[in-house]
Amino acid sequence: MSMKIFFDGGCRPNPGAMETAVVAGGRAYVRRGIGPGSSGEAEWAALLHALEVARILGARDVVLAGDALNLVQAANGACKCRGAEAIASLAAFRAEAVTFDRVRARHVARTQNLAGIALARDQGALSVSSAGKASRS
């Protein structure tokens, strides 16, 4: 059975301090202040963060759900990356993805991305129910 993991990255301002969020199994994993970069770099960092969380949770078959369409297409091999940072991030993703039985990236609307909801919160202390409702813990 596959595990669905939501991911999102951002920075404030753009470019600025990057942050990532991953939601898996009803729990949010948020990293703030991970260094300076662009929103695109933050999205790639979030995708790699999602694989890290998948590994920690023992997942072998993973569906990664994010709202950055170009990144999802690049991760699936449907389009090429532009820029050295994106190319390096794609290579890092591929190197990590092959250690799983199966990894798929899927595009979801921003309003359906539970990681985006977690990232928008002021603090990382957020619980997400299986019904997709976010609340403070």
Q: Is 5 exposed, middle or buried (0-12, 13-18, 19+ CB in 10 A)?
A: buried
Which amino acid, 98? Answer: V
> How confident is residue 133, by pLDDT bands cut at 50, 70 and 90?
very low
Choose between 135 and 65: higher pLDDT: 65
Which amino acid, 64? Answer: L
State residue 82's pLDDT score. 87
What is the overall mean pLDDT for the chain? Answer: 89
Residues 59-110 have pLDDT tens digits of: 999 999 999 999 999 999 999 988 899 999 999 999 999 999 999 999 999 9
State residue 132's pLDDT score. 41
Task: Tell how strand 102-107 and strand 126-128 pair up.
Answer: unpaired
Query: Which domains are seen in the chain, by residue range?
Result: 3-126 (3.30.420.10)
